[in-house]
Structure 1
Amino acid sequence: MKRRTFVSLAQLSSLSPFLLPDASAASAASTASVSAVSPAAAGAGGGLGLTERVLPAFYQHLKDELTFPLAWGNSRIRDFRAWREAARAQVEESLLLPRTREHVPFRPATVDEQRTDHYLRRTVEFTLSHYGRARGLLLLPHGRGPFPAVLLLHDHGSRFDIGKEKLIRPWGDEARLASAEAWSARYFSGRFVGDELAARGYAVLAVDTLGWSDRGPLTYEDQQALAANFYNLGSSLAGLTAHEDVRAAAFLASLPQVDGGRVAALGFSMGAYRAWQLAALSRDIGAAVAVCWMTTLREMMVPGNNTLRGQSAFHMLHPGLYRHLDIPDVASLAAPRPMLFHAGAQDGLFPPEGVAGAFDRMRAVWESQRAGDRLVTKVWPDHGHVFTADMQDEAFAWLDTWVGA
């Protein structure tokens, strides 16, 4: 009998205690796949069936109905600040954010601490929301602060035994270290992005998203059940993720060692989505770097696109949002703050037409606010879905310009 892992309602309603990682489950999840539905089996010739990657056969009609009436330039609101507030309110409504949103004290605690040549490493716990606490890895440079800071947002990758450890080298856990080093070698040229930034003088924080590392692990198949149970409870997995990212940014900005006016977000893949989303929603983020997650919706929603496989999409799925705003329209809520977007021309997740269209759409918004120099978009011709050392070096130099010392 196939073993199933169940996510209980108690785990949904509380972020603690922390769950122990199951490396075997994470390994199995990383190899999971979804088969395409053949035209014959799906009844693609009729209007009632399915098409490849389980799109409805009438998906084109649904796409044609999306006109994004609240986008800047489409909206009847001509004052940019008024538009931004109205559009942000619509995004927040679509997030199905927690009903109880009063300020909750962070009450931070240090779990352990280690000193290296260039920075201090801490495992910290703090109240992430009124549902409970979470654990993060915090790197603090030596010397007198306050320091510029970067909130690191980890990717998905169907690898759940590590989350925050994908971007900050873990300590005290050999199994996680081995997983993290393998991940770093695959996507980050063997570097740990957080450690690189800390050595450059940045305070750095990374926190697990629900389902990863200390807050998991999920299996690939469990994502649908987790997301469905959130919807049954009148909430949203993707909305909770967005809300928690806003809280993590506020926590980082509140630290006495951090200059709250110089806090950036940086993420790769799903972390990139979270980075530009966070910049759109949080006033604590002054700049953001998003690597390998940006497209227009229409170009993404095509048969066979790997991003349509379901499961992982639930962490980035806000019901009804795209009736109002396209993906780059949401990112444009961050304007005119500095933003850096990197994409790989060989990235099979995002069609080149979608990347180019999104970049053009965002550039029009920044230029409308006479802030074109604050938006950098770059497609790396020989790169795929990676954040390699050369991409990192450009991103770090860009951060030095906008939020560094």
Structure 2
Amino acid sequence: MLRPVCILVLLTCIALPCHAAQRSAIGTSSADAVLAEYFRAETARLRDRCLTGVKSLEDWQAKRKVYREQLFEMLGLMPLPEKTDLKPVITGKIDHELFTVENIHFQSSPGLYVTGNLYIPKGLEKPAPAILYVCGHGRIKKDGVSYGNKASYQHHPAWFARHGYVCLIIDTLQLGEIEGIHHGTYRYKMWWWNSRGYTSAGAEAWNCIRALDYLQTRKEVDASRFGVTGRSGGGAYSWWISALDDRIKAAVPVAGITDLQNHVVDGCVEGHCDCMYIVNTFGWDYPLVAALVAPRPLLISNSDKDTIFPLDGVARVHQKVRNIYRLYGAEKNLGLNITEGPHKDTQELRIHAFVWFNRFLKDENPLIDKPAVKFFQPEQLKVFKELPADEINTRIHESFVPKSPEPSVPQSSEDWAKQRQELLETLREKSFAGWPTQEQAGPLNIRRVFSAERHGVRLSALDFTSQPHVQLRLYLAHRPGIDRPDKIVLNVLNAQEWTRWLAAMRFGFANELKDEALPSIGHLAADPNENAFENIQNKLKSSKSVLAYVAPRGIGLT
């Protein structure tokens, strides 16, 4: 965006003599290249600052609490929702010779239903370690009825139950028996999610927190030995809950993390769901999420040909997180497991997870001699016969993050001064935290592009550097002969306003504005518009004002 100091500097240039400068036409491909370079630079900046200031365990421990609070906020969980009555219900049971399965649901918040299956080993003599299994995007749907992705991933909890673990597997918000929305920005153009501070990752993280609350109520469970695992989307949710909740004592997120270099620069974001992403208010790179798990046992698991969690990014995450484990003297608690293959749930990936939990939750290292296999039909694992009428799963995105309260009306100038300062600080910290500082922004590099006089209007254009890799153009219109303007009116143009303005000014300055020619936008076109130009003429005819126009990045030449 345009910096205030930039406006002041640029406007001092209007009285300088000038000559038209040549500039090559900028098309979509050029603008895209500029944007790509900006993203590369920003990604590198966030990468370089991620965990680099942590030189000692004291450094890390001093920052860890703040980082965790930031993660809660970026998941839409600050303040944390009230932990209301879970209202757990068991709707059915399945008897297997080695374990039982309870079909259950609970409400993580009133009306926000979580459906799942609780696998309980038979013959338990004392409380057992418990695994929370969180599912990836495995849709099971027949004749328009969703059975939940717990049916797709049932072989995992079945293995755990056959080996002495209680395992709760829960459906996701998107692919559960009640089908909510994950793809707000990915598919449905709900860009307001970012403004509201909502991400479907937050709803999944909250459901995980409440799932642990439920497990703590079960007499079969040793709540001091919780583990979590899942792959793909479930890998991501494993990261969220492990980073947020110290009740997790061992974690194996599978194919659920890579760094911003892969996501942004290499384009992996194109293959990912909203549930993979925080609203990155504080400018994190993903190794920071992983670092919050330290010093607890963590196995980062992936395959070498995974195209949406590429190997190089996974290795970079591990390398940075290893430094934090070293500070704790807990390198034995961090592992990196890479198997051969694509983004797929494979036996090789499962075995390493089983070994990890045996080692850290049971202090055992037996031979893994049984594969993970499915035992049940989806119909057997279904929780609801009829979906609850009071569910809010399908619209939770509208209420999960509360709207900000209306600001109070100040009762005095002192009240207003205080409120104004608080609002400005919040805007700088939250809404515009990604803006560069004056030092980071660098010099303006002002360059006059052209200045011409036609039909009683002088139009000048100045290019300037808003921040590294971002060049914008400012246009100044006034009547000829003004030495000192009495007023400068800055117009920041949206897409439609830019097209209207261009149509007006091209009537008098078609040659100078040839680079700025645009295609039609809806019913608007960039063809010269004499009437609109006359309106600008009339505004300037007897005025000493300067009309300044700027099209922010993404509009106009960028």
TM-score (norm 2): 0.55
Query: Structure 1: how far apart are the matches of 2:238 and 2:130?
Result: 14
Partner of 1:346: 305
Partner secondary structure for residue 275 of structure 2: helix
Letter in 2 for 1:395: A
**C-alpha displacement of 1:131:** 4.6
**C-alpha displacement of 1:403:** 0.9
**C-alpha displacement of 1:254:** 2.9
Contact 2:239 2:256 in 1 (8 A): no
CA deviations over 1:316-336 (Å, ceiling 9, x no partner): 22122461x321111110100
Query: Structure 1: how far apart are the matches of 2:77 and 2:254?
Result: 26
- Of residues 367, 375, 392, the one that matches 2:326 is 367
Partner of 1:146: 127
Contact 1:227 1:314 in 2 (8 A): no
Contact 2:184 2:274 in 1 (8 A): no
**C-alpha displacement of 1:293:** 2.2
Partner secondary structure for residue 384 of structure 1: coil
**C-alpha displacement of 1:77:** 8.9
**C-alpha displacement of 1:130:** 3.8
**C-alpha displacement of 1:69:** 4.5
Letter in 2 for 1:362: V
Alignment of 1:316 with 2:276, yes or no, is: yes
Larger Rg belongs to: 2
**C-alpha displacement of 1:102:** 2.6
Distance change in 2, residues 1:128/1:157 (3 Å): same
Partner of 2:355: 397
- Of residues 249, 267, 270, the one that matches 2:212 is 249
Distance change in 2, residues 1:77/1:365 (3 Å): closer
Distance change in 2, residues 1:159/1:222 (3 Å): farther
Letter in 2 for 1:89: E
Distance change in 2, residues 1:96/1:109 (3 Å): same
Query: Structure 2: how far apart are the matches of 1:156 and 1:42?
Result: 38
TM-score (norm 1): 0.74
Query: Structure 1: how far apart are the matches of 2:40 and 2:232?
Result: 26
Alignment of 1:165 with 2:151, yes or no, is: yes
Distance change in 2, residues 1:112/1:385 (3 Å): same
Partner of 2:552: none
Contact 2:74 2:280 in 1 (8 A): yes
Structure 1 unmatched runs, 5+? 1-40, 169-191
Identity of aligned residues (%): 25
Query: Structure 2: how far apart are the matches of 1:201 and 1:384?
Result: 30
Query: Structure 2: how far apart are the matches of 1:87 and 1:68?
Result: 17
Matches within 5 A, 1:3-402: 43-44=28-29, 46=30, 48-49=31-32, 56=36, 58-67=38-47, 69=49, 71=51, 73-74=53-54, 78-97=58-77, 99=79, 101-143=81-123, 144-156=125-137, 161=146, 162-168=148-154, 192-216=155-179, 224-225=187-188, 228=191, 230-231=193-194, 235-303=198-266, 305=267, 307-309=268-270, 312-321=272-281, 323=283, 325-380=284-339, 382-402=340-360
Distance change in 2, residues 1:159/1:65 (3 Å): farther
Distance change in 2, residues 1:301/1:119 (3 Å): same
Distance change in 2, residues 1:226/1:339 (3 Å): farther
CA deviations over 1:95-126 (Å, ceiling 9, x no partner): 12265623212221111012110111111111
State the structure with bigger RCO (CA 8 A, min sep 6), 1 or 2: 1
**C-alpha displacement of 1:226:** 8.1
Query: Structure 2: how far apart are the matches of 1:392 and 1:60?
Result: 35
Query: Structure 1: how far apart are the matches of 2:135 and 2:315?
Result: 24
Letter in 2 for 1:153: V
Structure 2 unmatched runs, 5+? 1-25, 364-558
Partner secondary structure for residue 334 of structure 1: coil
Contact 1:119 1:198 in 2 (8 A): yes
Query: Structure 2: how far apart are the matches of 1:368 and 1:387?
Result: 33
Query: Structure 1: how far apart are the matches of 2:190 and 2:227?
Result: 29
More moved, 148-157 vs 260-269: 148-157
Partner secondary structure for residue 188 of structure 2: helix
Query: Structure 2: how far apart are the matches of 1:108 and 1:157?
Result: 25
Letter in 1 for 2:72: E
